[in-house]
Structure 1
């Protein structure tokens, strides 16, 4: 999905605003429709199984979605710039295992564990961001290569071993199982990161520049936006969030193996695109990405409750992804056609 940057001429500026207003309205409607579908899905499952919305059932829904929501927030920043990060799943696995090794048999605090995970994610993001933004290597190639490199290193390091919950300090495990006012810590952490990212993208010039880069890299360059630095920053942020999520994975499950979050990279991309962040960059919000993540995890929980084969979760996710990309393409064509007609009307 592309929009146009503002031009100094009055007509161009008006057309740019019109295009953005139309696209924003469409994607707000899409986010509302996702929220509506999510509500209907939950209510329908509740009618089929009255225990689905029990106190524990609601907590499980929130806990299951927390880590995917975090990863979707980080991925959104990259996709908005018209790039992609396929290494997030492997970064989560590396961070979770490294944090497990770090705290195994020690009394380290939960905050220190989170900082370790964050640092590992930042290092991974630095490598990917440097190669993509400054090395100008295609993002798909870089992040796919990082996925396999990190996975290979993690398997070599683990050598078939696993971190058991009995080896993890109680403060770390409490982070994954504790709550405040009945709300688990993990969803609260995810909500704070989500709100901070949404505020940054909307209120800060740097955040808005990410959208400008995704809308039209050439126009962004002519406008003086430091494209390489902004893309680099987006990858560092995505890596940092993935590393942070890996530490939370350890806190949530306690038992960690080398291939944690294996295959999650495609699930994360699906959540982001289904949530309204255009795969072609320039549009979408982290709120929509979070809704997409919540929808996908809820579908998985619903299938378990209804005792449906788990194969259908992947099939439904794929169908939603294809539908979202098709909608993006149709909207893009209609917006372009509408702007051309309006431009001809002004010229006349």
Structure 2
């Protein structure tokens, strides 16, 4: 059976071929990045296996618990950061937002010792949402580069935190017992805080995969100009991504307060670099448009496990930063290699189709 293409439908055929090529490229890129996430998981298992062989107590009951708790806050922050980086932006203020939300949580309990835990969680998230809205308005509305805006708000939010604290330190004794127990409680054999992180991860992953607005974030990261021409509300989506990142940083601040108890204005200082590193190592392209929150979470767990494993392996802790830096460089190089591979395959398919 033969098929005849009418002259007047040639442009439609070309458009269909282009759409088919785009879909093929998306599928190929998805397979490659899934393979990368599997590779990160295997590297994590290998690291845990080697460390356990050196010290079997590394994966004891308490050891597993410490590993999960150590990764919890970084995972929550990495999920929010991944959503922002997918849109070809970055949020460097998450550490300062975490510190501000954590201190706000402590001040709430100082003023209202009997305040419900749910109110403290909502207050911390509210502080984060407000900070994220400031970032989003400057980036999406005023069209100022995200790197510049969030680097500035990193210092602004931290300055507000220092001014508010005025040298004050909030101790664990100032926190209600119910709130402190949230930082040490287990549910079904898992730390409660780790289950918070798991819930955030699953909700974010479902949203990005199942909702049109979530998929539009990838289109914005791939080509903002083309996304705008196709009718995607780029400014609104970028604003929303920054607000979500801020809200999750606020939640991370509440979890930080529940876990550590002792709070001051320096809480969360410097963690923003670890968050960006976790996202990039986890397969989210720093240039936007690809990756997943699951990979970002794996990257966060890998980095936190490296921090716990190096002392056990008797490696100088100063090498930890060198290892993280090498992982970032390797991840960026792999991003470019994967992108080039996808482009070559698509060119080959188009040449065969021609």
Assess same fold via TM > 0.5: yes
Find the aligned partners of 1:109 and 1:57 in 2 and give their Cα distance: 31
State the superposition RMSD in angstroms: 1.3
Deviation at 1:327, TM superposition (A): 0.5
- Of residues 91, 103, 109, the one that matches 1:103 is 109
Q: Which contiguous aligned blocks of 4+ residues in structure 1 show a shift greater than 4 angstroms?
A: none
In the alignment, which residue of structure 2 is the partner of 1:4? none
In the alignment, which residue of structure 2 is the partner of 1:144? 151
- Of residues 13, 28, 32, the one that matches 2:19 is 13
Deviation at 1:153, TM superposition (A): 1.4
Q: Alpha carbons of 1:302 and 1:202: their partners in 2 closer, same or farther (altered >3 Å)?
A: same
Kept after mapping to 2: 8 A contact 1:109/1:171:
no
- Of residues 115, 130, 134, the one that matches 1:123 is 130
Match of 1:327, SS state, is helix
Please show how residues 35-74 of structure 1 align to structure 2 within 5 Å: 35-74=41-80
Higher Cα radius of gyration: 2
Find the aligned partners of 1:153 and 1:25 in 2 and give their Cα distance: 45
Match of 2:57, SS state, is coil
Please show how residues 302-341 of structure 1 align to structure 2 within 5 Å: 302-341=309-348
- Of residues 219, 224, 227, the one that matches 1:220 is 227
Find the aligned partners of 1:175 and 1:307 in 2 and give their Cα distance: 33
Deviation at 1:181, TM superposition (A): 2.3
Find the aligned partners of 2:68 and 2:14 in 1 and give their Cα distance: 46
In the alignment, which residue of structure 2 is the partner of 1:251? 258
Deviation string, structure 1 residues 239-271 (Cα, Å, up to 9, x no partner): 000001101100000001111111111110110
Deviation string, structure 1 residues 38-82 (Cα, Å, up to 9, x no partner): 011101111100110110000000000001000000001100000
Deviation at 1:150, TM superposition (A): 0.9
Find the aligned partners of 2:116 and 2:178 in 1 and give their Cα distance: 6
Find the aligned partners of 1:110 and 1:289 in 2 and give their Cα distance: 28
Find the aligned partners of 1:108 and 1:282 in 2 and give their Cα distance: 42
Unaligned runs of 5+ in 1: 1-6
Which one is further off, 63-72 or 303-312?
303-312
In the alignment, which residue of structure 2 is the partner of 1:299? 306
Kept after mapping to 2: 8 A contact 1:110/1:175:
no
Aligned: 1:189 with 2:196: yes
Find the aligned partners of 1:109 and 1:300 in 2 and give their Cα distance: 34
Kept after mapping to 2: 8 A contact 1:82/1:280:
yes
Deviation at 1:217, TM superposition (A): 1.1
Deviation at 1:222, TM superposition (A): 1.8
Match of 1:326, SS state, is helix
In the alignment, which residue of structure 1 is the partner of 2:349? 342
Aligned: 1:114 with 2:124: no
Find the aligned partners of 1:43 and 1:91 in 2 and give their Cα distance: 35
Deviation at 1:8, TM superposition (A): 8.1
- Of residues 263, 276, 295, the one that matches 2:270 is 263
In the alignment, which residue of structure 1 is the partner of 2:8? none
Find the aligned partners of 1:302 and 1:330 in 2 and give their Cα distance: 29
Deviation string, structure 1 residues 15-39 (Cα, Å, up to 9, x no partner): 1011111111111011000000101
Kept after mapping to 2: 8 A contact 1:64/1:297:
yes
Q: Alpha carbons of 1:219 and 1:8: their partners in 2 closer, same or farther (altered >3 Å)?
A: farther
In the alignment, which residue of structure 2 is the partner of 1:92? 98
Unaligned runs of 5+ in 2: 1-12
Find the aligned partners of 2:66 and 2:273 in 1 and give their Cα distance: 22
Aligned: 1:133 with 2:133: no
Q: What's the TM-score once normalised by structure 2's chain length? A: 0.94
Find the aligned partners of 2:330 and 2:110 in 1 and give their Cα distance: 44
Deviation at 1:337, TM superposition (A): 2.8
